Amino acid sequence: MVDVESPRERGRVDRARYALLSLYLRLIQPSTTPLRRQLLVGLAAYAVLLLVLVAFGINGSSMGLLYSAMFGGRDPGLLRGVPRAIRSDEWLVVAPLTVSQVEEGLPYKSGLFPGGFDTTIVWDLPYREWSVLLRPHMWGFFVLPLDNAYALKWWLPFLTMAAALFVLLCTLWRRPLASFAVAGAFAAAPFFQWWFGSGSFWPPACAIAACAGTILMLRTDRTWHRWVIAAIVSYLVVVAVVALYPPYLIPCLYPAVGFVVGWIVMARSLSWPERLRRMAPLAVGAVVAGIVLAVFLVTRRDTIDAVVSTVYPGQRLSPTGASGSFSWLAMYAGIFGIGLRAADTTGFAANASEGSSFIFFGLYLVPSALWLLWSRWRRGAGFDWAMVGVLASLGLMFAFIYVPGWDAVAHLLLLDRVVMPRIVIGMGVGSILLLGLVVGRLRELSDVRVPVWTTVASVAAVLLTHWVVYRGLVRNAPAVLEASIAWVVLLVVLAVAIGLFSRGRATVPGILVALVALVVAGWVNPIYQGVFDMRETAVGQAIEEVDAENPGSWVAVDGLAATAVLRETGVESYSGVQGWPSQEMWDDLDPDGGDEDAWNRYAHVNWTANPDAPEIVLVTADVVQVKLDSCGPVAQKHIEHVLSQQPIDQPCVDEVESISEGGGTFYIYDVVPAP
């Protein structure tokens, strides 16, 4: 019998085809919606997304590892995904410190270490002091419960960066869906996901916002619009700078400067006096921002001097041409960034975070960029100085990586303050700015035919780069290649997207690269609800009771959970991570300063009861180990309590309490006089 399609079935198929065709045509047609409405709707979407995430207390922390260390098993707050042990600065350092700040009432100077420390420097912590006005992601801790405040802290910098890029791309392309998709693809880059934190997002956010703000200020005739835009950009600059992390700030600066200066030079429809008049609010904002930053730095001068004078990272400078200090395979991995899920990244990178980079969408379009520059010059329209500026900034960073011998110039440009692998953030920002410019310029062409060779060259750049990386993975990192699931499909989709970008298309390739980015790195951070509050555990409550009855200093012996719970309960402790050494603390532990090279650094200060261990030893670049001798002068004079996850057999400790917690036991001891 022959199956005959009924007229009704044919009608449904035809209607489905018509609907898909109509949708496709709507996607590729220029939007007729006014730019202002496009921007407002897009920003409103980001605001709603932030509101939902904060309302439900959703974050991407890996603090579930602390739950596992204490109780074993899976943390019920973990909704989806896998906590990442490599992100220890987030779940082992910042998360417990944030809880401790809430416990202590958000002090400006924390008393966790003997001598205390300034909470406004190094770590991203909430505190009560005027400069918290420059940390908007912290404001929730003053008005919201801990879970919701932590969610705001987690998402606000991330979504602000994505929103800034959306505004820039929508202004250049007038394609809101494409802009939203590409902003999401950029935010989902492996680098951002493996280094997720406000310090990673504010520098690119302010750089991109400065580019978008320049365009809008030169276009609008309304003075108050320009002042509002300038205020927003200047504020974001201050927010980024007070993080005080040059390895991210400096690389993001140069692409933004190239773009902004180039765009101002190109605004030929305006006279130079008019250009300067329209940009004047930004100049005023820069002056105000500079004054605010100066006050911030001067009022924290002692702390900043202490950080800068450390062995690590204060004295860390990078020479030019030191490309061997990081893996080129990881830097240009592209879609092979998905392989960072491998348990063993040997031959690819030291670890997943150090191996994270970007999918350089814009760099693949350099052939199109060069043709656009030549075509514009040939038509007598002059140079596209914004594109020249961005390409020059990328050239500067490539030179810093690969060309040795100009260290003096690099020092003047502050580039030697950039740890070599971190410069990739500037290349990521430059690449996305170049993508925005290339597609925007191609979309403006109406009477100029775009040559096919630019598309062929751009697609070839995608395929050739990934072929070289593939060969490197086969030889050096087969485990990473094995973990790169569906890489062939991802590569094909990426090549198609780049090909479409090179023809001036925006929406379809934007959606494609967003899908690629989500598959490559969207899985890195888990979806977590709430905060694992160790103060509410049995051992946390026991610590608070013992310290209330007999206040004094603590140490945690072995075990991550023991150190973390001391942090969260807010008791004074000689254990934990120091951003820089407390002089009072190390005067107690090392009175003659003989081990200063070991402890004068950013480091985890861990304690051991092993009698054969050295008194103080540097285990790794950021781990200092101190031996507990309860009968020794240090413990007898300065330590009152010890928390351990194993029994301690020493004559000068007396067990106060043992607490069964999950699958293990915590022991609390008092230090007693030596016999």
Give the DSSP letter string of 402-431. Answer: H--S-HHHHHHTTGGGS-GGGGHHHHHHHH
Give the DSSP H/E element, type plus range, for residue 46: helix 35-55
Pick from 517, 184, 511: nearest CA to 358: 517
- State how far the Cα of 520 lies from the Cα of 402, in Å rounded to an integer: 27
The domain limits of the chain are 35-54+149-295+325-525, 534-671
Strand partners, 617: 625
CA count, 13 A, side-chain hemisphere, 112: 34
Q: ∠443-448-454 over CA atoms, to 5°? A: 75
Rg (CA), the chain: 28
Neighbours of 358 (CB within 10 A): 27
Cis upstream peptide for 647 (omega within 30°): no
pLDDT of residue 19: 66
Query: What residues have CB less than 8 Å from 556, skipping those under 6 apart?
Result: 562, 563, 565, 566, 573, 575, 576, 607, 642, 643, 644
- State how far the Cα of 97 lies from the Cα of 124, in Å rounded to an integer: 9
Q: Report yes or no: 326 and 420 within 8 Å, Cβ to Cβ.
A: yes
3-state secondary structure of 100: helix
Q: Which amino acid, residue 510?
A: G
Q: Which amino acid, residue 74?
A: R
pLDDT tens string 623-633? 999 999 999 99
pLDDT of residue 322: 87
Q: Phi and psi for 347 in degrees, rounded to 5?
A: 85, -10
For tokens 């200090």, the residue is 325
Q: Which amino acid, residue 68?
A: S
Q: According to DSSP H, which parts of 309-444 are helical?
A: 328-331, 366-378, 385-402, 407-412, 424-444
User: What interhelical angle do 560-569 and 64-71 show, nearest 10?
Assistant: 110
Pick from 542, 537, 535, 539: nearest CA to 569: 535
- State how far the Cα of 543 lies from the Cα of 537, in Å rounded to an integer: 10
pLDDT of residue 333: 95
Q: Which two tokens stand for residue 84?
A: 């990442």
Regions of the chain short of the pLDDT cut 50: 1-2
For tokens 């809008």, the residue is 216
Q: Which two tokens stand for residue 663?
A: 């699958």
